[in-house]
Amino acid sequence: MGSSTQTSTEQQHSVTQPWAPAVPGLQQAVTDATSLYSKGIGTGVWSGPRVAQLGDDALTGLQSIRDQAAADNAGALGTSYLQGVLGANGSVSYNGPSLNADGLSSGTMGALSNLSGVKGVDLSGLKSLSTSLADPNSGVNRTASDFMSGARDITTIPQLDQLFAKSQAPSSAETNLSGIAAGDSLDPTKNAIFQNLVKTSSDNALQAQKEAFAASGRYGSGAFAGAATKAVNDTQSQLYASQYNTEAQRQLAANSQIDAARQAASQLGLGITSAKSGVESTNNQQRLAGAGVAQAQTAQQAGVLGQILGGDQFNSNLDYQKAVQALGTYRQGTSDAMSNEQNRVSTALQSQGQGLQAAGMLPSLDALRYTPAQQQLAVGSVLQGQDQSNIDAAMQAYQEQQDMPWSNLNRYAGLMGGMAGLGGTTDSTGRTQTRTSQSLGSTLIGGLSSGLGLLGMTGAFGPVGAAAGGIGGMSGASSAGGYLTPYLRSAASSIFGR
């Protein structure tokens, strides 16, 4: 049962003890789990019904539908009824007048044959007149065409256009006086001749002052300088004022001459335009006159044509009236015969349609026989659903009772496991192990203590595993194994005698 292994290794051992106040709780959790497992708590299987059975209403409804389906003969009744309707009315056929491919009866064809005796209208005069009207070389057509196309228009329009262009060109007065009219000569400083005059006049005024003051013996005095300056300024002011007024008058005169020239050009252009309009109006009137000639010629020829056509129609009117009268008589007889036959066919079809409509209602009436059974079956389905809900509720309550002890233990074990990690002590010692001897029980306990925390936290062992996982949940799988190892070893000693 055991094995012995000789080793020589140096190992460091560490033993972690859980927090002392949590030890009794952990022991109680293991004891309760062992007790629940040993007693088979949570392993019960529901022994009651799991599926609700069909009730009396559902069974009665299904049986009624089965009986109705077995006795169903609506198809045979409908077929027999349709055969009776068709036999009573017979087949529907058309017995009226027969028509050819053009939709005409034999009587209508006879009436149409009378039209062969109707004299046709003589169109020779019409054709001759049409040829004459279409001849472009006839005198009337050629004259009208010349007037309408403008070949005979008055041709003075180009000359009038040239004359108008010349009348609107700038006049000599506008060309020569435009600078003066724009005020180019108002600035006397830009006139070299006037500037020479100003200089000469200023020099003369200054010389006169010099001579006057020299005669009085005051030449070169302070009074001489003031008088000389004033004399020159007065002379220049008079000259500039006079020159500006003169140029302003010339500007006004130039503008008046330019405006007069433009007014004359406008009057001339208006006269030329009126003359051009008169020519165009005359040409248009001539074109309209040409069109009037053409229309009058056409109207005259159309009048002749109407006379020819009236004579031809008079010749053929008598035979045509006879043919139309015969055709109307035969048409009326054919229409009456066809109307009577259509009424007969319509009555027969209406009778058959009513029979077919009645036969078409048979499936709906036959389906009504199943309505009571279907309603009873629906009531049974509702009751069966309620029974199934009651069974499901009972199974759920039973399962909750089975799980409750394990759920309580799982919560308690989780609380103790959390408390175990809040404190505790760790003892570390060094020793040399020279011989390792294990029994089968020790090997099993060691593996169990290492895997209990890992597998228990996954729920692999049901409520028991969940409780074990809850105990070691605070410190991981290895901590859970460390806490439980002393108690598992004690249990193993009692089982395997060590």
**Given this model, what pLDDT does residue 190 score?**
81
Percent of the chain with pLDDT over 90: 8
**Given this model, what pLDDT does residue 42 score?**
85
How many Cβ atoms from other residues are within 10 Å of residue 483's Cβ?
Answer: 29
**Given this model, what pLDDT does residue 11 score?**
63
Comparing 263 with 454, the larger pLDDT belongs to 263
Q: How confident is the model at residue 30 (pLDDT cuts 50, 70, 90)?
A: very high
Q: How confident is the model at residue 290 (pLDDT cuts 50, 70, 90)?
A: confident
**Given this model, what pLDDT does residue 444 score?**
35
Instruction: Using the predicted structure, report yes or no on whether residue 369 has a pLDDT greater than 80.
Output: no
Minimum mean pLDDT range among 182-196, 225-239, 328-342, 439-453: 439-453
Is the pTM higher than 0.75? The answer reads: no
Per-residue model confidence as pLDDT tens digits over 161-204: 888 887 777 777 777 777 787 777 778 878 888 888 888 988 88
Q: How confident is the model at residue 410 (pLDDT cuts 50, 70, 90)?
A: very high
Minimum mean pLDDT range among 47-51, 262-266, 472-476: 472-476
Instruction: Using the predicted structure, report yes or no on whether residue 464 has a pLDDT greater than 90.
Output: no
Comparing 200 with 325, the larger pLDDT belongs to 200
Closest CA to 46 of 397, 463, 389, 384: 397
CA–CA dist 129, 479 (Å, integer): 131
**Given this model, what pLDDT does residue 239 score?**
86
**Coil, strand or helix at 13:** strand
**Given this model, what pLDDT does residue 329 score?**
65
Comparing 233 with 77, the larger pLDDT belongs to 233
Comparing 392 with 480, the larger pLDDT belongs to 392
Mean pLDDT of the residues in the chain: 73
Q: Please give the average per-residue pLDDT across 286-295, as a whole number.
A: 78
- Write the single-letter amino acid at 346: S
How many Cβ atoms from other residues are within 10 Å of residue 479's Cβ?
Answer: 20
- The rounded radius of gyration (Å) of the Cα atoms in the chain is 70
**Given this model, what pLDDT does residue 378 score?**
92
Instruction: Using the predicted structure, report yes or no on whether residue 160 has a pLDDT greater than 90.
Output: no
Minimum mean pLDDT range among 64-68, 225-229, 292-296, 472-476: 472-476
Instruction: Using the predicted structure, report yes or no on whether residue 435 has a pLDDT greater than 60.
Output: no
How crowded is the C-beta side of 364, counted as CA atoms within 13 Å? 5
User: What value, to the nearest 5°, has the Cα angle with vertex 69 and ends 64 and 71?
Assistant: 95
Per-residue model confidence as pLDDT tens digits over 113-156: 666 666 666 677 776 777 776 777 777 777 888 877 877 787 77
Instruction: Using the predicted structure, report yes or no on whether residue 337 has a pLDDT greater than 80.
Output: no
Does residue 424 come out as left (phi exceeding 0), alpha (psi in the -120 to 50 range) or beta? left
Minimum mean pLDDT range among 251-265, 296-310, 351-365, 385-399: 351-365
**Given this model, what pLDDT does residue 493 score?**
44
